[in-house]
Amino acid sequence: MTLEELVRAALSEDIGPGDWTTRLLVPPELIGSAQVISKANGVLSGLKPFGEVFRLLDSSLRMHRHFSDGDDIAAGDVVLKMEGKVAAILTGERTALNFLQRLTGIATLTRKYVESVRGTKAVILDTRKTTPLWRSLEKEAVRHGGGANHRSGLFDMILIKENHEAAAGGLAAAVQRAKQNQKNVGIHSPLAIEVEIQKLEQLDKILPLGVDRIMLDNFSLQDIREAVQRVNGIIPVEVSGGVTLDDVRQIALCGVDFISVGALTHSAPAHDFSLLVNP
């Protein structure tokens, strides 16, 4: 789904057969201005869908952005100003702010995780635990916050998890099939293979298989340290499973390469903005 298609669907959901409040109260020719104000400190994200809302409602609206995506913003900052038909501004207000507050919330939470591991080699990754149809926007917000993207979907990496292992008849069989069968399904450039393990004992089975990354799922700090020592830099190590701001730095200090955090996209609190119109 393109950004335009997503925004059109969001506007249709909100407007339905008509924004009757605005149509009944606001003269269609009335011109005015509006400003969007941040009500908390954060990291800005979501200007593209915000702008797309008003482009679709009234392409003659003029928008003056005072910040860019990825910029730090503080409480009281005027993020942008708009000039044009007041009716269009009022009709698009909630949809546009929904995009902005959600994506800024993700960027802001991501920045907190990134700052927590500063000075280590660990890279903060997102997951596929995203809002349906918002994935590209939410993953972009993670990048605005200084994090990195894991995979965009099921199509750009092979990640062998516990259920895949069971269905394939074991880890070795799963990895072998993943390597051998790619061309058979039309994959001409080999995809990276990552294997998730739940127990330290599985490492001995994984290391000889020639995979591209190992994911330690819900490991204790002690077992993470042991796993990193055993791998000894041969394969990048990722940690996943219930990672929080309280423990992310301790995990990073174990020497892992990646830490994936589902909370970046499934639990980020919305950032608070207000939009004030001046007719």
Q: Which residues pair with 85 in a beta bridge?
A: 31
Positions annotated as catalytic residues are 94, 129, 161, 196, 217
Closest residue by Cα to residue 151 from 7, 254, 279, 260: 260
What does the pLDDT read at residue 157? 95
- CATH topology for 3-113+268-278? Aldehyde Oxidoreductase; domain 3 (3.90.1170)
Cα distances (Å, whole numbers) of residue 222 to 113, 124, 208, 264:
21, 20, 23, 25
pLDDT bin (cut points 50, 70, 90) of residue 270 is: very high
Give 186: exposed, middle or buried? Use CB within 10 Å, 0-12, 13-18, 19+: exposed
What are the start and end residues of each CATH 3.90.1170.20 domain in the chain? 3-113+268-278
Give ranges for CATH 3.20.20.70 in the chain: 117-266
A 10 A CB-CB count for 124 gives: 25
* pLDDT tens by residue, 155-203: 999 999 989 988 888 888 999 999 988 878 888 888 999 999 999 999 9
- Predicted local confidence at residue 237, as pLDDT: 98
Task: Give me the CATH code for the 117-266 domain, please.
Answer: 3.20.20.70
What pLDDT, on the 0 to 100 scale, is given for residue 188?
81
Tens digits of per-residue pLDDT, 59-81?
Answer: 999 999 999 999 999 999 999 99
Q: What is the pTM of this model?
A: 0.95
Count the alpha carbons within 13 Å of 237 in the hemisphere toward its beta carbon.
28
Contact (Cβ atoms closer than 8 angstroms) between residue 90 and residue 277 = yes
State the pLDDT at residue 185.
83
Q: Which amino acid is at 229?
A: Q
